[in-house]
Amino acid sequence: MNAQGYVRRQGIAVAKSSGLVLGCVQKLNQKHQFIQEYKISSDAIASEVERLSVGITKAVKQLRQEINDLADVDASGELKLILETHNMMLQDPELMQQTACLIQKECINAEWALKKSLSQITQVFEQIEDVYLRSRKADIEHIGERIFEQLAGIHQQQQYEQAIMVAQDFSPMDIVDMWRAGVSGFVSIQGGENSHAMIVARGIGLPGIAGLQEDFFNWIEDGQSLILNAEEGRWVLHPNKQDLKQFEQEKQALQFKQTRLQDYVNKPSVSQDGYNMPLMANIEFIEEIDVAQQQGVDGIGLFRTEFLFMQHEMLPSETMQQMYYQQVIQGMQGKPVTFRLLDVAIDKIKVTDAMNPIFEGENPALGLRGVRMLLQHKTLLKEQLRAIVAASGDAPVSILVPMVTMASEMVDVRQVLNEVCQDIGFTGKVCLGCMIEVPAAALVADTLAQVSDFFSIGSNDLVQYSLAVDRTDEHVSYLYDAGHPAVMQLLQMTVDAAQKHNIPVSVCGELAANPAWLHTFLTMGITSLSMSARHVLQMREQLHHLRAFS
């Protein structure tokens, strides 16, 4: 035990991003609400209690409106009865008094005090023997969510600098939101090394680990100290003096490494014997561009356009898309940019309500996605192509087509692209590339190379589709092996076809950032790599020490 009486615990995670952080635990509920926790001065107690009162009042008003709206649609009256119960709980003076008392005694903000009050109430419910009454603790959680939402609207101050968020799972958008809010790090109980959320975290440099034992969520409490070593996937709960000393030593070593790598920011991406291999960045959203430029990337090898679509309730207009793409191009200051056309899949984003009719299906990952969806909804395809072409001007812009399995798909997209260029009077050059991420595409790579300007091997999906392994599932992640003979044959077939028809071929994804694969890529004849921006300098350093022709 440490000085606070806590039991020290440590362990290894299945997945990791990068970075080292010492912070305080903050558990998130199922809705991933970021519940702020911080101390307040004695002078701020009265205003904080008033803020709590206003938050509860607004929650009651919102709930009353919902009850009134149900008058014509809730024939059975069951839902109304549930909401009436919630309304009674919200207006229980004991909730307000108990929470206000915690604010006054502990000098803490309203959210933290409310969280403590609700926890005490739910503990009482959990001890009730009657099964039905015990199940009513869910009602407590629901009314808490309502008040938290109102408090968030009243007070927007962000105090996450020392927070390490802990939840069962995080979506890619959760990772982005936490990064924007200034969160120090995160722990996801679920998740694998190649989950999309972990890939995003590595790209933006948010320290995090995933794939921990379920008991971890039960061990921890808000405010407890936690060390995350996202470089090695290690964690320590309630660190002792020796742990803290080791943390400082590891942090210094990491800073030394980062300082050394800075020497390669402005150096060319060439091997020891002069083989030029541009090291590009995979980008999810505009804010990453500054990070990429600081890492000295040679361009954007893959800009995923899904995030623009997922951040709006309605499909973004062509004008909105054009402005967005222009920002990306301008941010890269003349360096090449490759935009991947909209590719929505179950492991990438949660589609908006406006897009649900398009993406319904029992297995969206193998259903109407990528080029299949775009060719069936050509208005969407034309708008996105027009927006990219109009935004490009004379910049070095390329377009990548996802989920291709046959040459006719590339021919159809190119026809639409030509029509768009003619319609807007564009006479410049926009290269159209094929993403090789399905085994079928690699097997017909020779045919695809005849109708494509370049290839981009989507290593993450190619491996998982080839081996029938869900890369996000920690139970089978040990089977996810890019070195499997079947995968190696598909890679070589793709490169051979590209070389035969004299088109560039890049590797995109986590495999591109693996130092152990760099020499293989050189000898195979891969022309560029695209990866999370924060891996670029490490790969460039290694590239300078390797020879391509020996």
Instruction: Point out the residues that are catalytic.
Output: 196, 508
Backbone dihedral angles phi then psi of residue 185, each to the nearest 5 degrees: -175, 180
Q: Are 194 and 471 spatial neighbours (Cβ–Cβ below 8 Å)?
A: yes
Alpha helices in 484-517 (DSSP H): 485-500
Q: At a CB cut-off of 8 Å and minimum separation 6, what does 59 contact?
A: 90, 143, 146, 147, 149, 150
Region label for 129, one of left (φ > 0), alpha (ψ between -120 and 50) or beta (otherwise): alpha
Cα Dmax for the chain: 79
Q: Which amino acid is at 487?
A: V
Beta strands in 395-509 (DSSP E): 397-401, 431-436, 454-458, 505-508
Strand partners, 300: 281, 337
Nearest-Å Rg of the Cα atoms of the chain is: 26
Residue 434: name the closest of 419, 446, 420 by CA: 446
What is each CA distance from 41 to 47, 157, 274, 275, in whole angstroms? 11, 15, 62, 61
**How far, in Å, are 163, 230, 244, 300 from residue 227 at the CA level?**
11, 9, 8, 33
Q: Which residues contact 143 (CB under 8 A, 6 or more apart)?
A: 59, 86, 89, 90
DSSP annotation of 129: S
- Give the closest residue to 330 by CA, choosing from 259, 415, 391: 391
Task: Give the three-class secondary structure for 93.
Answer: helix
